[in-house]
Chain A
Amino acid sequence: MKRRRWPLLAVLGFGYAFLYVPVLLLIVYSFNESRLVTVWSGFSVKWYGELLANRQLLDAAWLSVRIAAVNATFAVILGTLAANALVRHGRFRGRTGFELLLTAPLVMPDVIIGLSLLLLFVAMQQVIGWPDGRGFTTIAIAHITFSMAYVAVVVRARLAQMDRSLEEAAMDLGARPLTVYRTITLPLIAPALLSGWLLAFTLSLDDLVIASFVSGPGSTTLPMVIYASVRMGVSPQINALATVIVALVTLAVVVAALTMRERGEKFEV
């Protein structure tokens, strides 16, 4: 099929430039000496130094990382269970409702999730006395609720395209279902579990709106600190922080992708 592809490729190039130039500029200007973010006055890493001395920001980052890790772990467990249910249990009663509940968090505006969960936590505290105040636990619960939906999408795709003959063989040879799942299914879907974990981790690390609703005094997450600072205007320190985050995330994704490739697996995204 001979067709001129250059207009298509031009749009593609423009699209990639649109997606990547803003972040690249952010990275470049994080090494700018001037406080004025848009005027280049020489190379400097002083904003990184200031970043390392910013106690409030580091505390918030540490809190966010801990929440993100807890969230990712629970989201992978719940999301995998949900994916099992959808792929392995056929047309069970209430399946439509189940799928609806599992898809809705993917598109639901953050303000609605945040507000409704906060009201739930307040009502629960009134009725059963738990959760006592808001902070780490409530933010983690809120994040697990929407992250598990993303994990379910990733794991579900992997489970659906998995070759079942190994499982069947093991079962024919008398292995118990749980043993089969642990020794055959889990290793086969491991790449999806890993990318699901990473995805849930970054979703949590990134969330401003939901965490703002369900956090309490003394539990300020990293996005809240960034937001408070950004509202005051562009600041070189935030550029430096952005660069660190982008670098770490890219590193994690690339390492995960390479590890998968070494094992002959396709990295699922």
Chain B
Amino acid sequence: MTLPHPRRRLSRLVNIGVPYLWLGLFFLLPFAIVLRISIAEPALAQPPYTALWEWVGDGVLAVQLNFQNFMLVVQDELYLAAFLNSLLVALVCTVLCLLLGYPMAYAIATSSARWRVPLLLLIVLPFWTSFLIRVYAWMGILKQNGLLNNFLMWLGVINEPLAILHTQLAVYIGVVYSYLPFMILPLYANLTRLDFSLLEAAADLGCRPWRAFLKITLPLSLPGIIAGSMLVFIPVVGEFVIPDLLGGPQSLMVGKMLWTEFFSNKDWPLASALAVVLLALLVVPFVLMQRLGQRLDDAAEAHTR
């Protein structure tokens, strides 16, 4: 580095310090507050929860900890079902995104250079259009007298309209639709770096394409698979809009429960407890993704040097 020392220190301070401070204040600190309020009691006050500690005269400090919210979240069947169903939806949708996204990413990565950019742009474009509106689009398609039912009846496949909207199936469709680009992009980034001469070598040595895929392509694209899966799995566990608009009473999900506790029941402490448990569930996959990404970055850096 050729920068003179004092200026370099200032540049470091600004470049690292300012974003660090912002994220510390507006991203990290709030979690501490959620934790603190999750052990408070709801109260008819403004804000609607009890103080954690109080001076009760004569310099005596009364500390009140209330773990009932957590007991409720862990023991109540409704919450347990919501957590389990959220994990199920996230898992099923991650697998579906992978099954659909992998061939798509592979096809784009192996297409000619002229086609690659427009094809990729078409994957990215939905990112730029409203998520809410794209979920809403499915309401008109899936409802009882909606376009899909009309179409299927016109084809003669079914005689009675199917109930799809407000079921778990609609949630699956909505989630896969909304999160598919998140799966394709890291897979594509990984597959374009793949050394295809390895496959040719395997073919020359008489290896069948499917075997070569299983033995070479798949293991080498594992980092992309894991990155894409985490980008889908983690946010979907806490998804609110899709289960709310497309799901029904059977498709309970944590994100929606949290929303209801907060906005309808005004139970801030319980909503906080749900957030804490949800966060605890997501820490493991997040750390996995982060550490793997780190290792890949290091490998790439070592490779380019």
Contacts and interface: CB of A to CB of B under 8 A. Distances in A.
Interface in B255-303: 255, 258-259, 262-263, 268, 271-272, 275, 278-279, 282, 286, 289-290, 293-294
Contacts of A122: 47
B27 A29 contact: no
B279 A81 contact: no
Nearest to A126: B47
Interface stretch (B57-65, B67-75, B237-245): B237-245
Contacts of B3: 171, 177
B22 A107 contact: no
Contact of A119 (B34, B143, B240): B34
A178 B200 CA distance: 50
Interface in B227-244: 230-231, 234-235, 237-241
Nearest to B120: A269
Contact of B26 (A12, A15, A117, A242): A117
B180 A19 contact: yes
A14 B35 CA distance: 45
Name, among B11, B136, B289, the residue most crowded by chain A CB atoms within 10 Å (CB to CB): B136
A15 B100 contact: yes
Interface stretch (A41-49, A50-58, A186-194, A197-205): A197-205
Given A109-B278, A117-B30, A249 B128 contact: yes
B20 A98 contact: yes
A116 B290 contact: no
A238 B134 CA distance: 11
Contacts of A220: none
A166 interface: no
Contact of A209 (B24, B177, B241): B241
B66 interface: no
Contacts of A101: 20, 23-24, 27-28
B53 interface: no
A9 B18 contact: no
Interface stretch (B77-85, B103-111, B218-226): B103-111
Contacts of B289: 103, 107
Given A22-B134, A209-B240, A245 B16 contact: no
A206 B180 CA distance: 18
Q: Which label, helix, strand, loop or mixed, suits the secondary structure of the B interface? A: helix
Interface in B1-54: 2-4, 7-8, 11-12, 14-16, 18-20, 22-24, 26-31, 33-34, 37, 47
Nearest to A12: B107
B142 to A, nearest CB: 10
Contact of A89 (B15, B26, B132): B15
Given A107-B230, A122-B47, A12 B133 contact: no
Contacts of B255: 109-111
Contact of B107 (A9, A26, A81, A142): A9
B279 A112 contact: yes
B132 A226 contact: yes
A123 B177 contact: no
A230 B272 contact: no
Given A23-B126, A98-B19, A250-B129, 13 more contacts: A22-B141, A29-B140, A81-B19, A100-B290, A105-B23, A108-B235, A109-B234, A113-B27, A141-B26, A177-B11, A198-B128, A202-B128, A269-B120
The 6 A-B pairs of least Cβ separation, nearest first, read: A109-B238, A116-B30, A22-B137, A82-B19, A120-B30, A11-B103
Interface of B: 2-4, 7-8, 11-12, 14-16, 18-20, 22-24, 26-31, 33-34, 37, 47, 100-101, 103-104, 106-108, 110, 119-134, 136-141, 143, 145-147, 150, 177, 180-181, 196, 199-200, 203, 209, 230-231, 234-235, 237-241, 245, 255, 258-259, 262-263, 268, 271-272, 275, 278-279, 282, 286, 289-290, 293-294
27 contacts: A3-B209, A16-B122, A18-B177, A19-B181, A20-B122, A22-B134, A23-B134, A84-B15, A88-B15, A98-B20, A99-B294, A101-B27, A102-B23, A103-B289, A109-B255, A110-B240, A112-B279, A141-B26, A145-B22, A171-B3, A172-B2, A177-B11, A199-B128, A202-B128, A212-B263, A226-B136, A227-B132
